[in-house]
Amino acid sequence: MHNLTIKQMSEKLQSGDITSVQLTQYYLDRISQYDPELNAYVTVTPELAIQMAEEADRRIATGKAELLTGIPVAHKDIFCTDGIKTSCSSKMLDNFIAPYDAHVVTQLKKIGMPILGKTNMDEFAMGSSSESSYYGPTKNPWDHKAVPGGSSGGAAAVIAAGLAPMATGTDTGGSIRQPASFCGITGIKPTYGVVSRFGIVAYASSFDQAGPMTRSAEDSAWMLNAMAGFDERDSTSLEREKTDYTAELERSLEGLKIGVPAEYFGEGLDASVEDVVKKAIAQMKDLGAEVVEVHLPNKDLAVPSYYVLAPAEASSNLSRFDGVRFGYRCEQAEDLNDLYRRSRSEGFGEEVKRRIMVGAYALSAGYYDAYYLKAQKLRRMVRDDFVHAFKQCDVIMGPVAPTSAFNIGEKADDQVSMYLSDLYTIPVNLAGLPALSVPAGFAQERPVGLHIVGPYFSEAKLLNIGHQFQQVTNWHKQMPKQYQ
C-alpha cells in the first residue's frame, strides 16, 4: 500500500477499494512498528487521525471528495496545530499547545487529510541533521547510523520509511531539499510567498517557506496544489492566480535548456555525489534537454550572508520566548531578569542559543554595517547571479548537498562545517527562488538528490522535469530493505 502513488491511493479511496480509516490505520500500524527505533515523529495522533479518516470516508461517500481527501499526512512540528502540541522539537515549547492552526494545516484539514502526527526536526529548524532536537535525533531509514538531514529530517524519514504518504516541511536554508536528498525522497521549496507562513513558528521570516515532501514529483504537485495559495493573514503571501501544479507534469522536456554552474562542481563536492548528479543531467539530455554552462560567481558569499541574516532575524523572532505568556518557564525565578535568563537558557538548546547570540551580535551597535548590511548586499548579488543565469537557461541543475548523509555525531561539534554543507541550497533561499530535490542515485549506499532550481514561480516546470525524470528512473520508488 505504501508504494502506491497518491493518485493511485486516491483512486482506491474513491472506488471504495479501501477506506480512509483502513489507509490511516495502515500507516498508524507502521508507525507503531517502526517509529520507536526511527524517532521520526515527536507526536503521533492516532485518535484524531482515525476520527478525521471517518469524516473523510463520509465525505467520499457523498461524492464531494477532492483528490487528496482521506489521504493521511504528517506535519513537521513547526506547523501550529490547534489542540496538538507544537514543540519545534524544543524544550521551550514542549508544553505548547497552540489554540490555532497554521494556514497550511487549515487547508489540508479542509480537504479532509487525516493528521497522523507531528514530525521531528532540528530545534526551531536550526540545523542540517535533525540532531539538535530536544527529543533526540531521527535516524536515516537507509542507514540508522546516518542523519536524515535537516531541519525537516523527521518528515523526510517518515516518507522514506513509508510512515506517511505525504508530509509537510519548511525550508529556510535547505531544510526540505537536503533531507529529501539524504533520504531519497522528493521535496520542493516553492517561491517565497507562494505558501502562507501564518502559524508556522518563525525561524528567519524572509527565508522561511513551506513545501511538500513526498515520494514522487507527481505526489508533490498534488500536495502543493493543496498547500499553495494567497492568505491575507501573511503580509508576504502573494496574491496570484491559483496555479494547477499538476498541469504541466506530462510535458516533454524537448528543448529544455539546463544551466549547469561550473562553480557547483568544484572543490568540496564528493566525487561519487558528483557522479550521480552528472549522470542524472546526462539522462535529462536523453529526454531532449540541452545543457549550457552558466556562472554563479558569488555562490561562496551565500553561506556567510545567510548565516548573518537568518540568525539576525531569528534572534528577534525568538525573543518572544521569555517564559511569560506561553512555553517553558524556569522554576522559582528570583526576579524578572532571572526569569528571562533562566527560562531562555534552560529552554533553548545549544545551537539555537548560538544562533540567537550570533544574530544579536550581527545587529548590535557598531557591527550592523559590517555584518548585517553587508550580508544584505551580498544577498542581492547572489540573487542577481540567478537572474543573470536564467537569461541563458530555463532551470539550473546541480547537487543538493556536497555529500550523501553523514553519520550521526559526525558534525555535531563543528558548526561551521555543518553550515558549509548548505552551500548549494542556501543561495536559493537568499534569492527566494523555487527548487526541487529528486532522488537520482546513491553514494556510499546512501541516497543522493538532484537539485533543480528555477526562476520565480516556475514550480510547475520543476515538477514537470522531476516527473519526466521519474518516468525513466526508479530511484524514487526504492525503499530501504527493512521498511519495504
Partner 1 sequence: MSWEVVIGLEIHAQLTTKSKIFSGASTEYGAAPNSQACPIDIGMPGMLPVLNQAVIGKSIMLGLALDAEIGKRSVFDRKNYFYPDLPKGYQTSQFELPIVGQGKLEIELEDGTKKVIGVTRAHLEEDAGKSVHGLVPGQTGVDLNRSGTPLLEIVSDPDMSSAKEAVAYAKKMHELVQYLGICDGNMQEGSFRVDSNVSVRRKGEPLGTRAELKNINSFRFIEKAIEFEVERQIELLESGGKVVQETRLYDAETNTTRSMRTKEEANDYRYFPCPDLLPVVITEEDIKAVKDSMPELPEAKRQRFVSEFGLSEYDAVVLTGSRALAEFFETVVALTGSKDAKLCANWVTSGFAAALNRDGLPVEQAPVTAELLAGMIVRIMDNSISGKIAKQVFEAMWKGEGTADSIIEAKGLKQITDSGVIEALVDAVLGDNPSQVEAYKAGQTKMLGYFVGQVMQASGGQANPSQVNQILVAKLSD
Partner 2 sequence: MSLGKTEVEYISRLTQIDVQENQIESVAKKLSNILELFAQMEAVDTEEVAPMAHPLDAVQRLRPDAVTEVDQHERLQAIAPAVAEAYYLVPQVIE
Pairing of strands 257-261, 290-294: parallel
Nearer to partner 1, 31 or 228 (CB): 228
Q: How remote is the C-alpha of 285 from its chain's centroid?
A: 28
Instruction: Draw the binding track, 282-321, toward partner 2 (x: CB under 8 A; -: no contact).
Output: ------------------xx-xxx-xx------x------
Rg of the chain on CA atoms, in Å: 21
Distant-in-sequence, close-in-space partners of 373: CB < 8 Å, separation ≥ 6: none
Residue 244 grid coordinates: 494547477
β partners of residue 209: 171
Is 76 one of the annotated active-site residues of the chain? yes
Is 345 one of the annotated active-site residues of the chain? no
Which of the choices partner 1, partner 2, none does residue 476 contact, using the CB cut-off of 5 to 8 A by kind?
none
The window from 54-62, 197-205, 425-433, 457-465 that contacts partner 1 (CB under 8 A) reads 197-205
The yes or no reply on residue 387 touching partner 2 (CB under 8 A) is no
**H or E segment and range at residue 76:** strand 73-76
207-236 binders of partner 1 (CB under 8 A): 232-236
Beta carbons of 91 and 347 less than 8 angstroms apart? yes
Query: Of residues 10, 87, 90, 151, which has the active-site annotation?
Result: 151
Nearer to partner 2, 85 or 279 (CB): 85
User: Percent helix, strand, coil in the chain (nearest 5)?
Assistant: 45, 15, 40
Residue the block writes with cell 557547483:
264
Which whole-number Å values give the CA distances from 424 to 26, 60, 134, 439, in the listed order?
37, 43, 27, 16
β partners of residue 119: 41, 76
CB of 324 to partner 1, least distance (A): 6
β partners of residue 448: 441
The yes or no reply on residue 228 touching partner 2 (CB under 8 A) is no
**H or E segment and range at residue 384:** helix 374-389
Is 481 one of the annotated active-site residues of the chain? no
70-109 binders of partner 1 (CB under 8 A): 80, 86, 88, 93, 96, 98-100, 102
Which of the choices partner 2, partner 1, none does residue 204 contact, using the CB cut-off of 5 to 8 A by kind?
partner 1
The yes or no reply on residue 325 touching partner 1 (CB under 8 A) is yes
Query: Of residues 20, 175, 196, 305, which has the active-site annotation?
Result: 175
Residues of this chain that bind partner 1 (CB under 8 A): 80, 86, 88, 93, 96, 98-100, 102, 197-202, 204-206, 232-236, 312-313, 315-316, 318-320, 322, 324-326, 336, 340, 360, 363-365, 368, 372
Catalytic residues: 76, 151, 175
